[in-house]
């Protein structure tokens, strides 16, 4: 390296509206000393996955830096945990679409000249804007042009507005608002054969519709905290639309017609363009009570696998009757655990449908905490519990499943089932953690939101998934059929 070699910062990003879907990348090269923008690059890529688009953004940024000064040192900043960890050599690269791109990126500068840093999405807005400009241009049948770009100005405006909202409001000890390191790429990580224990999922930039749901509360649930954390969720495109949500059905004893009307709202396409067709609608049913539920004990996929209690079987009968009145369920898919298969069987007998078992819908494995109450875990494993509550990457004592790993599994299962049941309404019979993860990812809510949801035994929630990758939460913790 010569004494005059420069230092650059490369910020890069990529997105796919559909994953895979119409995709683009953005990259910016900054002077490390002054922060001045030296080069902007963006390109519409056609149909590729989110992670491939991110790698293409990295490659474009590195090449632009090399053109400015091939002897430079470069610090890469990206909000893709997967790309940062793989390019840093800490995670393996197994996916066939990403291997050649990673190898090509590694050849742009000699080893040791490039360092990598994960940053929150909020700190990567310039590259994010460029990627969205490229995708917007592609949607118009054009290629991105630097002469029409407003990405730098838009990002600066966003940062200024954010700073104005937060100035003076943070007290000592407050948690930062940004998502934790690890807001990553569950769908592509899973497709890559589990390249990395990513702390969650980044989904494609989509136009996410929000809908009103029911917030009926109820008791019960294995371990009051056992619905917790996945990681930073779905990106919302600049053209985000709001759509009509599904209202909860009426109280028990209401006319059957009211249930049918409510069900039609839940399963309706919403306010999206008519050419998108009907969404894949997941009606998410938490299983009925087991003997462990009222005791609030951890009951995951690694414990005793209890069956329903008499109360749980009665709950399943009531939800089956309610779903029969609605008449919208076209298929039933259940977790492999005994309590979900039993709940699904009771509903299936009433609806006259078969049950398909899906391994991806199982509950989190709580390791050595299985069968214990929260208080008992606090007494026996206080340090492990504190770590678990603080980070979605932390595993329960004894090598259970982290919430980060659960999120990766649920994202892959979601994508699989959305493809299999496009345009149909399917009942998914599952557990606290998977259902809360479906909902959190659909909302793009922060990690701590999982600890603030009440999900009752035998409750119903619903999420609709559209052809463009958008998601709409239509119902949440609906329990009127139990009253």
Provide the annotated active-site residues: 287, 363
User: What tokens were used for 243?
Assistant: 């759509």
Residue 318 CA to chain centroid, in angstroms? 31
Q: Over the chain, what HEC string results?
A: CCCCCCEEEEEEEEEECCCCEEEEEEEEEEECCCCCEEEEEEEEEEEECHHHHHHHHHHHHHHHHHHHCCCCEEEEEECCHHHHHHHCCCCCCCCCCCHHHHHHHHHHCCCCCEEEEECCHHHCHHHHHHHHHHHHHHHCCCCCCHHHCCHHHHHHHHHHHHHHHHCCCCCCCCCCCCCCCCCCCHHHHHHCCCCCCCCCCCCCCECCCCCCCCCCCCCCCCCCCCCCCCCCCCCECCCCCCCCCCCCCCCCCCCHHHHHHHHHHHHCCCCCCHHHCCCEEEEEEECCCCCCCCCCECCCCCCCCCCCCHHHHHHHHHHHHHHHHHCCCCEEEECCCHHHHHHHHHHHHHHCCCEEECHHHCCCCCHHHCCCEHHHHHHHCHHHHHHHHHCCCCCCCCCCCCHHHHHHHHHHHHHHHHHHCCCCEEEEEECHHHHHHHHHHHHCCCHHHHHHCCCCCCCEEEEEECCCCCEEEEEEEECHHHC
Comparing C-alpha atoms, which of 262, 298, 323 is closest to residue 459? Answer: 323
């Amino acid at each position: 390296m010569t004494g005059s070699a420069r230092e650059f910062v490369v910020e890069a990003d990529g997105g796919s509206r559909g994953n895979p879907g119409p995709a683009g990348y953005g990259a910016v090269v900054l002077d490390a000393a002054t922060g001045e923008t030296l080069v902007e690059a963006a390109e519409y890529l056609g149909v590729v996955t989110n992670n491939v688009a991110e790698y293409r953004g990295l490659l474009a940024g590195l090449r632009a830096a090399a053109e400015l000064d091939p002897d430079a040192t470069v610090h890469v900043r990206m909000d893709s945990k997967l790309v940062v960890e793989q390019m840093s050599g800490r995670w393996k690269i197994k996916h066939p679409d990403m291997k050649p791109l990673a190898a090509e990126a590694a050849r742009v500068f000699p080893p040791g000249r490039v360092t990598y840093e994960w940053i929150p999405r909020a700190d990567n807005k310039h590259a994010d804007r460029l990627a969205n400009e490229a995708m917007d241009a592609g949607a118009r049948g054009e290629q991105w042009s630097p002469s029409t770009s407003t990405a730098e100005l838009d990002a600066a405006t966003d940062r200024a507005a954010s700073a104005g909202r937060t100035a003076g409001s943070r007290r000592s000890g407050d948690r930062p608002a940004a998502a934790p390191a690890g807001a990553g790429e569950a769908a592509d990580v899973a497709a890559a054969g589990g390249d990395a224990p990513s702390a969650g999922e980044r989904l494609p930039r989509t136009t996410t519709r929000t809908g009103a749901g029911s917030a009926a509360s109820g008791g019960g649930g294995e371990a009051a905290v056992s619905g917790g954390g996945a990681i930073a969720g779905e990106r919302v495109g600049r053209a985000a639309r709001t759509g009509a949500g599904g209202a909860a059905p009426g109280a028990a004893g209401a006319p059957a017609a009211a249930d049918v009307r409510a069900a039609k709202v839940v399963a309706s396409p919403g306010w999206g363009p008519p050419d998108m067709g009907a969404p894949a609608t997941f009606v998410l049913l938490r299983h009925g009570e087991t003997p462990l539920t009222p005791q609030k004990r951890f009951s995951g996929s690694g414990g005793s696998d209890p069956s329903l209690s008499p109360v749980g079987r009665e709950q399943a009968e009531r939800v089956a009757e309610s779903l029969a009145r609605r008449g919208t369920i076209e298929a039933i898919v259940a977790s492999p655990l005994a309590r979900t298969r039993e709940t699904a069987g009771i509903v299936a007998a009433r609806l006259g449908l078969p049950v398909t078992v899906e391994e991806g819908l199982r509950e989190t494995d709580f390791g050595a905490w299985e069968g214990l109450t929260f208080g008992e875990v606090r007494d026996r494993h206080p340090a492990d519990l504190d770590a678990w509550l603080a980070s979605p990457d932390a595993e329960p004592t004894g090598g259970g499943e982290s919430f980060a790993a659960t999120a990766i599994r649920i994202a892959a299962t979601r994508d699989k089932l959305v493809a299999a049941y496009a345009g149909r309404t399917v009942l998914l019979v599952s557990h606290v953690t998977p259902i809360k993860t479906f909902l959190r990812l659909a909302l793009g809510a922060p990690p701590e939101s999982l600890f603030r949801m009440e999900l009752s035994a035998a409750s119903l929630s619903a999420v609709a998934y559209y052809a463009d990758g958008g998601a709409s939460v239509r119902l949440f913790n609906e329990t009127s059929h139990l009253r």
